[in-house]
Structure 1
Amino acid sequence: MLLVPGDPLNPRRVDPHFAGQADAARERGITVARIDHDALDRPDLAVAGVPAGEDAVYRGWMMTTTQYDGFAKALADRGVTLRTNADEYRAAHELPGWYHELRPATPESVWTEGPDLQALGALANQFGGGPAVLRDFVPRDFEGHATHHWDEAAYIPDVADAAAVRRVAERFLELRDDSFAGGFVLRRFEEFTGPEARTWWVGGRCALITPHPDTPDELPEGLDLVEVEPLVATLHLPFVAVDLVRRTDGALRIVELGDAQVSDWPSSRDPSALITALF
């Protein structure tokens, strides 16, 4: 079964952003059920329209790990098992859950527990000098802010500059407000070149390579996943998206890993390809 959000303006319809995927699933004879994403704080209500007794994959808007945990439990009460359980969702959704396994192919990172500015300052001292990018455990929530507030709330030219670290962190917290997730993360800045690819992994194997949704008509050439595949496989996660890009020295780097249930699909690609890979 495929679970998708209902249209907030007409709950009897699928949210238009996911309608193509829902149509593709129905064409393959797969049950499609709508959830009420706006009711996730009452998960029993959010899943009230889901039929009982089938296994399910979710494709929809992002959830916090707390929301997903309630979502999974409410579905379990209806006899529905999500392919990605709550622990697996957290591991994919938050950087500390995947960083150590992917460390050889992704920028060096350190993090705090919670929005502790003093702890962040101590981490910055240990990190050494040079540029870094500041974020929290869940970067995808922050993509718009990172684009529009890069210099004031994301990029730190030199982490040895304690005042700059604090200034950027305070602005980050201001923008994130109550959506701050987990803790501060410092990522070593690396110079990338060319478009990103979004790769889709089912059961630890790459099933699809697409453009990144931000650049749906651009795809890097000559992607070789020979170094990346064993790293992703060690995570033992059922359905993840991994964004890849070339560093200026030509090395293929992992920009991000996320739970693919809440990873956007590029508008230039046929959604039936994703449904075929999943089911």
Structure 2
Amino acid sequence: MLLVPADPLNPRRDDPHFAAQAHAARELGIVVVRVDHDALVRGEAELRVPAAEDAVYRGWMLSSAQYESFEAGLAECGVQLRTSADEYRTAHELPGWYEGLRTVTPESVWTTGGDLTELLKATRALGGGAGVLRDYVKSMKHYWTEACFLPDLTDEAAVERIGARFLELRDDAFTGGFVVRRYEEFSGAEARTWWVGGRCVLTTPHPDTPDELPTGLDLIEVEPLVAELALPFVTVDLVRRADGAWRVVELGDGQVSDWPAGRDPADLITALF
């Protein structure tokens, strides 16, 4: 079974962003069921879903707590999500996957909560150099200079100012705590790799650069590490560092990872089912 968000303006239709994926699934004989994403976010969804032993969600992002409630509601309907709530949290939040990928991703430290004093302690643990600020699930990279890039980790006034701006911009969406990643110089566009059962099944451009697919992608270091995480369905975004090494920018739960425009959604659905 494939679960997709309903169109907020017409609940009898698929959300336009996921309609092509839903259509591809129906063409392959897969049961497609719509859910009210807004109600899921509010924790008010009354799920009416036929029983299924293997269900995959393809939709808008949910917090780990919202996904846990989603899983519980589906269980009452006799539906087993392929990705459990614990597995979703592991993939969705950086502290869940960081240790497993430590050798192939920038050095990172994090806090619990949004206390700026704790942020300063975290940056001291990294020492000098530059860093990148985010929370457990997201950066504010489109506000690079004011809420993301930390040019000098020892400049505590600047770190505090950028941290405060980050909190302001993320507002209620702030998740978990601050994460500070050591800055690395990257070159070229990112690749988004799609993993099912610990195996890379697809490589696409990153949705931010749908017309740019890097060449020469090497997964020899990454593959055994992702497999060891034993997560059912994830994406791993990689980019080439200035010295030529491939580095993991992000691991995310595949159910809420965006599919790049211009790519055939049937490729994804076929790989999943």
* Normalised TM-score (structure 1): 0.96
Aligned partners of 1:216 and 1:266 also within 8 Å:
yes
* Residues 1:39 and 2:33 are matched in the alignment: no
Q: Which residue of 2 aligns with 1:104?
A: 103
**Residue identity (%):** 68
Mapped to 2, the partners of 1:179 and 1:220 lie a distance apart of 31
Q: Which residue of 2 aligns with 1:250?
A: 244
Structure 2 residue identity aligned to 1:124: T
Residue among 196, 214, 220 paired with 2:214: 220
Mapped to 2, the partners of 1:185 and 1:42 lie a distance apart of 27
Q: Secondary structure at the match of 2:109?
A: strand
* Residues 1:146 and 2:151 are matched in the alignment: no
Mapped to 2, the partners of 1:135 and 1:5 lie a distance apart of 27
Q: Secondary structure at the match of 2:231?
A: coil
Mapped to 2, the partners of 1:199 and 1:61 lie a distance apart of 19
Cα drift, residue 112 of structure 1: 0.3
Q: Which residue of 2 aligns with 1:160?
A: 154
Residue by residue, what CA displacement relative to the aligned partner does 1:179-218 show, whole Å, maximum 9, x if unpaired? 1100000000011111110000000000000000111111
Residue by residue, what CA displacement relative to the aligned partner does 1:114-151 show, whole Å, maximum 9, x if unpaired? 11111111111121111100100011xx4xx421x110
Aligned partners of 1:243 and 1:254 also within 8 Å:
yes
Q: Secondary structure at the match of 2:187?
A: strand
Mapped to 1, the partners of 2:264 and 2:111 lie a distance apart of 40
* Residues 1:198 and 2:192 are matched in the alignment: yes
* Normalised TM-score (structure 2): 0.98
Structure 2 residue identity aligned to 1:112: T
Q: Which residue of 2 aligns with 1:8?
A: 8
Aligned partners of 1:132 and 1:156 also within 8 Å:
yes
Structure 1 residue identity aligned to 2:69: G
Q: Secondary structure at the match of 2:17?
A: helix
Aligned partners of 2:107 and 2:182 also within 8 Å:
yes
Q: Which residue of 2 aligns with 1:272?
A: 266
Q: Which residue of 1 aligns with 2:183?
A: 189
Residues 38-117 of structure 1 aligned to structure 2 (within 5 Å):
38-40=38-40, 41-45=42-46, 47-48=47-48, 50-117=49-116
Mapped to 2, the partners of 1:75 and 1:56 lie a distance apart of 9
Mapped to 1, the partners of 2:243 and 2:179 lie a distance apart of 25
Mapped to 2, the partners of 1:202 and 1:54 lie a distance apart of 17
Q: What are the ranges of 5 or more consecutive residues in structure 1 without an aligned counterpart? A: none
Aligned partners of 1:55 and 1:81 also within 8 Å:
yes
Mapped to 2, the partners of 1:230 and 1:43 lie a distance apart of 40
Q: CA RMSD in A?
A: 0.9
Mapped to 2, the partners of 1:2 and 1:192 lie a distance apart of 36
Mapped to 1, the partners of 2:241 and 2:136 lie a distance apart of 23
Residue by residue, what CA displacement relative to the aligned partner does 1:70-101 show, whole Å, maximum 9, x if unpaired? 00000000000000000000000000000001
Q: Secondary structure at the match of 1:215?
A: coil
Q: Which residue of 2 aligns with 1:169?
A: 163
Structure 2 residue identity aligned to 1:193: S
Q: Secondary structure at the match of 1:240?
A: strand
Aligned partners of 1:43 and 1:71 also within 8 Å:
no
Aligned partners of 2:43 and 2:66 also within 8 Å:
no
Mapped to 2, the partners of 1:235 and 1:52 lie a distance apart of 28
Aligned partners of 2:187 and 2:239 also within 8 Å:
yes
Aligned partners of 1:204 and 1:232 also within 8 Å:
yes
Cα drift, residue 42 of structure 1: 3.2
Mapped to 1, the partners of 2:117 and 2:269 lie a distance apart of 46
Q: What are the ranges of 5 or more consecutive residues in structure 2 without an aligned counterpart? A: none
Cα drift, residue 44 of structure 1: 4.1
Q: Which residue of 2 aligns with 1:207?
A: 201
User: How many aligned positions are there?
Assistant: 272
Cα drift, residue 178 of structure 1: 1.1
Cα drift, residue 55 of structure 1: 2.2
Cα drift, residue 53 of structure 1: 3.7
Q: Which residue of 2 aligns with 1:229?
A: 223
Mapped to 2, the partners of 1:25 and 1:6 lie a distance apart of 15
